Structure 1
């Protein structure tokens, strides 16, 4: 019996809510109130993945932190997000998706308020970590709550398409929304904006969402959860810090070796325990494994593009945060168009073809982007950004539906957690691996790019060091001609390095498209009743 079906208790003042329609009676219209609430939470989570980037210069000036501190303003969120994703999905299965979703919304709201009022960089990093952990709860649980509403496979596919599209809009719209907020209200506004939205979403969720309370008698795989969180956390930490520590430094090798040991221990434990947090037998099903792989690859390219082009636009092309957001507007618009299309196509034809097409279209967009000179104007970026946005969203929706169809309905939270974990790890790998490509190529090209620039030895060393760290050099004391002589060739060297990394991402997307097309079974989406447990 769901909460909506329970009679009101005498003296409580609660009124009985009408039961939700079941089975084929469930439509998108009947799901609309719940879908709005769930998408609101998801939008906040994805928005905070990218919105903070445009606020970093103001944060640095206000809190007096270093460039490394600014990196961790982004990385603290990514790290905790990746660590807690799978854990959150399984907790929802055990304790009830509604209860865990409410905890995530309230935790994210409180963490956002703490970010906005942080008096120093240490408090801000702690609050960003809480945001990431809470966001990891919201994302898979919101997807599980969609499946809990019932409906035909086609209705669920359309609902997941809307859910995916809203998340993609939050991710792609972060730079534009952040630029507007920072320009008019300061850096704290990118966090304050979550507070009223989060409180309203929590109140609405408590009243409107009816979902099973969970499987209280089921055992919780505490050891598996801890090993997975520690293993993924160590892996993420090593990949993020490798560019600062060096890929062959003792610190990097030690952290990565620790992650291998922890994940190996996690694998061994999952094979022995009776109630695993991640049933490894699921990976024998290509309808489960390949969509997760494809999602990882598409986010690998997307995260790299957003990060490094944002740096180039602001540091070397002189665009403001708002203008940078406008430059990405075609990508944002494409996600809005692709989301309902992806849901409809998947519901009608199954996941295999749209998933492969999404990876291929993303690859074409990335290839086209390598042909655009980085100093070109707005229109030259429109076509590639449209292809990347449309292709990524087209791959996300059928991948999500295929994975959920491969698991038992009472493990939907676990399935949703795996989907989002794989994509987040793809994003981390994109930033880390493609970042290494960009930095190494840039550092190799930099001496040649600045060979003709005449500077005092002290200024040259300082500028080269600033450029090598990925920042805009301080050229305020130089003449206009000297500034142009430094920034123009350095910008071309960085652009060439970024295009090399984008080409690698394109190849990865093409390989994923071929694998999905060749190896994924041809079958329509299942109604989430069978599968491997």
Structure 2
């Protein structure tokens, strides 16, 4: 990608397996590139499989939410935790696991994480209650955090040539964004024939393939002089991120009057401040925060964070809109979201070409503007909106997300020294996962705040049934079935209208936020 330059530092890695050609280096930009690895494209296929496993698990659950609501009967807050605990934990641990991969070996940590991911998937599939499922999803987040940083940093080890690496990152980005978009479709296919736990059992054969072919085809790569692994930094980063997200989530849902919300906000801010302060003092920090002095690095991280922040919360609820408001089956709802899958795959593959023509600044900001406009379209949805409008909005959302995420990953990776590629990659993925968690938390909380008041208590509905309907749209539809004729229909219609009202407001908020982020990225990437 000509809009970025390869780092001038030496890439240090030790290699094993069929791709062994000796240590791989990338010297200064004027030096001849290292010899290409003969099995690099096969190794990329393994990394694509790894990232697909992690990102599909983040979205495959969305179509199962109605089934989970019916079977496990979680509260509205519990339902949000089921949806976002995976991304919370993933985001909280990515930086630490990225630094750990630089120290013990990226391939080794990826394979350990894959085995743990399979075990946690079994626990989630057979969860007997909402608390168990939330815990299993948290363990999946821990395992996913050991996989994700290694996938991007190993691309750097496999592809020392900058142009080949840009193409490989495009393929990797297509797998990440398209896999996230395809999650609902896969979930819909499974839910047509099996119970909701099947969306987790899908991981087991994929993990088995990853363990077999990853051990064979991937090279080992790590920092030869990593320094010690600083546990206080791990606790500060994870504790700070999770506490801050908790404060935003609970504050948006219940207000700041509760004592735990300001306490969590203070603890989160303190934890992150201590983390940054400690990194500046350590000889071998988990994350070199001075990387943020590079405008490309900062703009890429913020662009990915803001774009996903705006996208995740709204898209998490569109599946409920399609099933519970429009009456689509899980499979039909997954097919209805296919334009997002197609847009993400195509945009990720052509990102390098677009960046060469428009520059990194134009491509990144253009993708964010497109995302803002597409989210704005979702803000005008009604119960009877024609599907063509939905398809266009989904196509725009998918294409923009594929472009922004792929380009941001390339900017982050090329701005960081090669020996710190694991930690730098983790920053990009932390932005993605933290944005996902914050988006679901904040915009889900907007919906949660609007929904109960908009439902009200229709005539003929008793207070106990109305209270149940106020918990969530799924609970309202279930409660409506217990009421006679007109009263049940009135409650269901009121609940659907309230859900659409809350979702539309959340989508418009997301659109405004993403457009503001586009302006910020444009300013950060301006030429000096």
The TM-score, its normalising length taken from structure 1, stands at 0.88
CA distance in structure 1 between the aligned counterparts of 2:210 and 2:408, rounded to whole angstroms: 27
CA distance in structure 2 between the aligned counterparts of 1:366 and 1:120, rounded to whole angstroms: 34
CA distance in structure 1 between the aligned counterparts of 2:331 and 2:213, rounded to whole angstroms: 32
Matches within 5 A, 1:512-527: 512-522=517-527
SS in structure 2 opposite 1:249?
coil
Matches within 5 A, 1:53-64: 53-59=62-68
CA distance in structure 1 between the aligned counterparts of 2:24 and 2:104, rounded to whole angstroms: 24
Alignment correspondent of 2:187: 178
CA distance in structure 1 between the aligned counterparts of 2:487 and 2:389, rounded to whole angstroms: 29
CA contact (8 A) 1:79 1:237 kept: no
Decide which of 365, 383, 402 is 1:393's aligned counterpart.
Answer: 402
| 1:439 is aligned to 2:448 | yes
CA distance in structure 2 between the aligned counterparts of 1:350 and 1:49, rounded to whole angstroms: 31
What is the deviation of 1:54?
2.4
| 1:329 is aligned to 2:338 | yes
Alignment correspondent of 2:210: 201
Q: Which moved more, 1:21-30 or 1:420-429?
A: 21-30
CA distance in structure 2 between the aligned counterparts of 1:463 and 1:521, rounded to whole angstroms: 54
Alignment correspondent of 2:328: 319
CA distance in structure 2 between the aligned counterparts of 1:375 and 1:28, rounded to whole angstroms: 54
SS in structure 2 opposite 1:207?
helix
CA contact (8 A) 1:31 1:149 kept: yes
CA distance in structure 2 between the aligned counterparts of 1:402 and 1:17, rounded to whole angstroms: 27
Decide which of 491, 506, 510 is 1:505's aligned counterpart.
Answer: 510
CA distance in structure 2 between the aligned counterparts of 1:109 and 1:429, rounded to whole angstroms: 26
What is the deviation of 1:3?
5.6
What is the deviation of 1:83?
1.2
CA distance in structure 2 between the aligned counterparts of 1:54 and 1:462, rounded to whole angstroms: 25
| 1:370 is aligned to 2:370 | no
Q: Which moved more, 1:393-402 or 1:239-248?
A: 239-248
Unaligned runs of 5+ in 1: 7-14, 524-533
SS in structure 1 opposite 2:61?
helix
CA distance in structure 2 between the aligned counterparts of 1:291 and 1:390, rounded to whole angstroms: 17
| 1:104 is aligned to 2:113 | yes
Distance 1:315 1:31, change over 3 A: same
CA contact (8 A) 2:314 2:443 kept: no
Decide which of 463, 467, 480 is 2:466's aligned counterpart.
Answer: 463
In the alignment of these two chains, the number of paired residues is 509
Q: Which moved more, 1:406-415 or 1:108-117?
A: 108-117
Alignment correspondent of 2:5: none
Distance 1:248 1:425, change over 3 A: farther
Matches within 5 A, 1:415-430: 415-430=424-439
Distance 1:148 1:114, change over 3 A: same
SS in structure 2 opposite 1:218?
coil
Decide which of 340, 343, 347 is 1:338's aligned counterpart.
Answer: 347
Distance 1:268 1:510, change over 3 A: same
CA distance in structure 2 between the aligned counterparts of 1:25 and 1:278, rounded to whole angstroms: 27
What is the deviation of 1:317?
2.5
Unaligned runs of 5+ in 2: 1-11, 26-31
Decide which of 137, 141, 149 is 1:140's aligned counterpart.
Answer: 149
CA distance in structure 2 between the aligned counterparts of 1:133 and 1:270, rounded to whole angstroms: 22
Q: Deviations for 1:112-149, whole angstroms, at most 9, x for unmatched residues?
A: 12322445544433322221111112111100000111
CA distance in structure 2 between the aligned counterparts of 1:339 and 1:16, rounded to whole angstroms: 26
Distance 1:404 1:213, change over 3 A: closer
Decide which of 87, 92, 99 is 2:101's aligned counterpart.
Answer: 92
What is the deviation of 1:297?
1.1
CA distance in structure 2 between the aligned counterparts of 1:25 and 1:344, rounded to whole angstroms: 24
CA distance in structure 1 between the aligned counterparts of 2:418 and 2:526, rounded to whole angstroms: 21
Alignment correspondent of 1:485: 490
CA contact (8 A) 1:366 1:502 kept: yes
Query: Whose RCO is larger (CA < 8 A, sep 6+)?
Result: 2
CA contact (8 A) 1:439 1:470 kept: no
What is the deviation of 1:247?
3.4
Q: Which moved more, 1:460-469 or 1:84-93?
A: 460-469
Q: Deviations for 1:80-105, whole angstroms, at most 9, x for unmatched residues?
A: 11111111111111111111111111
| 1:52 is aligned to 2:57 | no
Alignment correspondent of 2:4: none
CA distance in structure 1 between the aligned counterparts of 2:380 and 2:68, rounded to whole angstroms: 35
CA distance in structure 2 between the aligned counterparts of 1:73 and 1:295, rounded to whole angstroms: 23
Q: Which moved more, 1:510-519 or 1:151-160?
A: 510-519
